[in-house]
Amino acid sequence: MIKILKGDIFDSQAQTLVNTVNCVGIMGKGLALKFKKRFPDMFQDYQTICKKEELKLGQPYLYKSLIPPWILNFPTKGHWRAVSRVEDIVKGLEYLIEHYKEWGITSLAIPPLGCGQGQLEWDTVGPILTHYLSLMDIPVEIYAPYEIPEAKIQLDFFKKEIKNNLRSSGLVKS
């Protein structure tokens, strides 16, 4: 079940929160900085993984704490100075879908991947998130950017966008 919301992802009751990260160990702006401040142990773990060059685009990793929320660090760009690429978002979503059950994820709250510091557009990212995350059989909350009009957070908008744009681009397989 998918809900599309506006608001603060940290208000979510989901078991797992998604954090947008780069692959070089920096959480200096945007949502990542907020995660860094709220979850310092997760940040240290993330830095260690980055120093070992184990974090790759297309391969989010789960940081499990003893008490939820768990944090899914989702690489949306290689370097903090880079822009995000839709292809990397799609690969990461495919990886998440392949692994969420074995990781034990039972509910998920996800921000608009790549739409802030990554400079991607909600009109592209929102439909992709909706398409892929609807394949999961857990509750999912998608947090839209604050400035997006209400009409663009309705499921009908996403269905139309997928049909009209994404299939022809080859980004969405089914």
pTM score of the predicted model: 0.89
pLDDT for 92-122, tens place per residue?
999 999 999 999 999 999 999 999 887 888 8
Strands 140-143 and 108-110: parallel
**Alpha carbon distance 55, 85 (integer Å):** 16
Taking phi over 0 as left and psi of -120 to 50 as alpha, with beta for the rest, 6 belongs to beta
Domain 2-169 CATH (choose: 3.40.50.2000, 3.40.50.720, 3.20.20.70, 3.40.220.10): 3.40.220.10
pLDDT band at 168 (very low <50, low <70, confident <90, very high): low
Burial of 93 (0-12, 13-18, 19+ CB in 10 A): buried
Would you call 160 a catalytic residue per the annotation?
no
pLDDT band at 75 (very low <50, low <70, confident <90, very high): very high
First-to-last alpha carbon distance for the chain, in angstroms, is: 19
What is the residue extent of each domain of the chain? 2-169
Residues 52, 56, 77, 159: which is the catalytic one? Answer: 77
Nearest to 113 by CA among 81, 167, 72: 72
**Alpha carbon distance 70, 75 (integer Å):** 16
